[in-house]
Amino acid sequence: MPHDWIMTPSPLVHRTVPGPAGRIHLVEQGAGPLVLLLHGFPESWYSWRHQLPALAAAGYRAAAVDVRGYGRSSRPADVAAYRMTELVEDCVAAVHGLGERTAVVVGHDWGAGIAANSALLRPDVVTAVAMLSVPYAPRGGPRPSEMFAGMAGGAEEFYVSRFQEPGRAEAEIEPDVRGWLAGFYAAFSADTMPGPDAPDPHFAARDGQLRDRFPAGPLPGWLTEADLDVYAGEFERTGMAGALARYRNMDRDWEDLADLDGAPITQPSLFLGGGRDASTMWLAAAIEAYPKTLPGLVGSHILEDCGHWIQQERPDEVNRQLLDWLDGLSRPAGSPDLP
């Protein structure tokens, strides 16, 4: 369908649907084929505020989920309740709770991992998958806790290792949620990230804090004070434990998903990454392996001079790529591109 976006989208609708852990909160807009949107850390459904109206105006039913542990969705107390297999079932429950049998799933950051594993574990529900910022890499290799511990040495510690220890990151973040989030977003945005000669904010001194390396200065260009208020307000209400629990299940996931070792995703797929995003750069080998790991890949695009928060930093480009890909899914092979 053409992308003139002349349709007037319907209003945003907040809904809760039942899920395995209780409730799943989501925000939907539009009517048509269902596109489920999954955010990453530390975000919420609001991360898709630029995509919801664009998808709706183009004739899709877009639904942005608060992932388990975030926002208005349920927050189980048990850390093991945030393992990947549980989050995949939440994805399925969201689709069914919206009265649909199948959906295209789009994920950013941790949401990309949930989308990928949903495609692997529930191909009956996920018909196509798009991954933003974090490339698909099949399950394999060493135990994650050991791998991430080996990424730093001496007096430094990688942020993922720090997040895996219950209570430790909460003690840093929760006394000043708004300030910490502002620094974290800025540290990984193209227009505010530290220069190449500055200490890497993915790491912290073992006796220090991550925020010690966050840039001081204005907010990133994509983030207004009002936007920051939305994010901070959610985490000030819920705390950080639910969001951080995802990092505390990486070894469980490695064990749970052993049968998927090396498994390719065969559904039609799309990858969008930021040229200045460490997730894209560190996983360059995973992108090079896409002919084997994503045999249904339709497109892989790196947005130059873009950081980690890709759909918020560069919403127009991301929307264009998503809509071209989505529209192509409904066209017969070999048919001409639409204007």
Q: Write out the catalytic residue numbers.
A: 109, 308
Q: For residue 3, what are the contacts with CB-CB under 8 A and spacing of at least 6? A: 58, 320, 323, 324
Residue 98: is it exposed, middle or buried by C-beta count within 10 angstroms (0-12/13-18/19+)?
A: middle
